[in-house]
Amino acid sequence: MRVLVAGATGVVGHPLVGALRARGHHVSALVRDASRAPDADEAVVADALDRASLLPAVSAARPDVVVHQMTALRLLRDDPAGAFAQTARLRTAGTAHLVEAARAAGARRLVAQSIAFAAAPAGVLVLDEDAPLYVDAPDPGWAATVRAVAELERLVLSGAGPSGLVLRYGTLYGPGTTYSRTGGTGQRVLAGKLPLPEGGSGITSFLQVEDAVGAAVAAVESEATGVLHITDDEPAPAAEWLPHYARALGAPAPRTVPAAMAPRLLGWFTAHQLTAARGASNDRARTTLGWKPLRPSWRDGLGAR
């Protein structure tokens, strides 16, 4: 198949290009800067936020399948607000342009990256894909992020373009992620600056980068549509994973702080993730895609060198 990967320079997109080529697919890498293009069959230079340049570029690539892996999270350490704002634009305007471009190019299928940790914190501790998203979160920044995610999913599944499949990735760890030793979270834990709110009852569903790539390959080669959680098999409370992560890094054990102080000390989002967030079940992905994680537990690699 001819596959176009948008976001081909990212943590998932870059290795995905190689994985798809290894499966015999002809891969076009959509990039804004040709000098950063991975080793693809061809580089397609266009900006997803520039509709006028994107539509002819995608049509020239003649993809059967378009894969949307676009974020701006590489900017996170230096400009967090800018990274989230640009990612929101890519998830809204960028997705709308990519859906239109895929349709105009005659692509039959669109696979898009989303996140598995945007659900409202209600009900059971581990949720399936039908749980509502937290679009009314009390923190304006997180509410804006979740609304952008909801819009991405709506656009991909609207029927206005090719048949759509949304992959909601769990919290990514591995090379190039914030949970790598040199990443933002890794550095924060190494410096003893990520305390554990008392109770640590927020649930995180992790996902190793290689498993995200494997799920995307399976999605390209399937006919599945809808929304799927792509996570490991062991949703974990913060009280378990954060001390383990610190030990794996050789960092000091996280100190415990009163839960009521967590938003002020950590920021709303981090406090929410550590105290109230829900995990995500991968049962539907196993059944629908025939996919399962090669790293079924975060214990096998979170914090590994």
Mean pLDDT, 10 residues at a time, the chain of 305 residues: 96 97 98 87 96 97 98 70 87 97 97 98 97 97 97 94 95 95 95 97 98 98 98 98 97 96 95 98 97 96 84
pLDDT at 38: 87
Q: What is the pLDDT of residue 305?
A: 66
The three-point CA angle 66-57-216 to 5° equals 15
Instruction: Name which of 100, 79, 83, 80 is nearest 6 in CA terms.
Output: 100
* pLDDT at residue 75, as a whole number: 58
Beta-bridge partners for 44:
30
Closest CA to 30 of 50, 49, 7, 53: 7
Residue partners of 78: CB distance under 8 A and separation at least 6? none
pLDDT value of residue 82 = 79
Whole-angstrom CA distances from 89 to 122, 187, 255 are 28, 28, 37
pTM value > 0.85: yes
* CB 29, CB 40: distance < 8 Å: yes
Q: Supply the pLDDT for residue 304.
A: 79
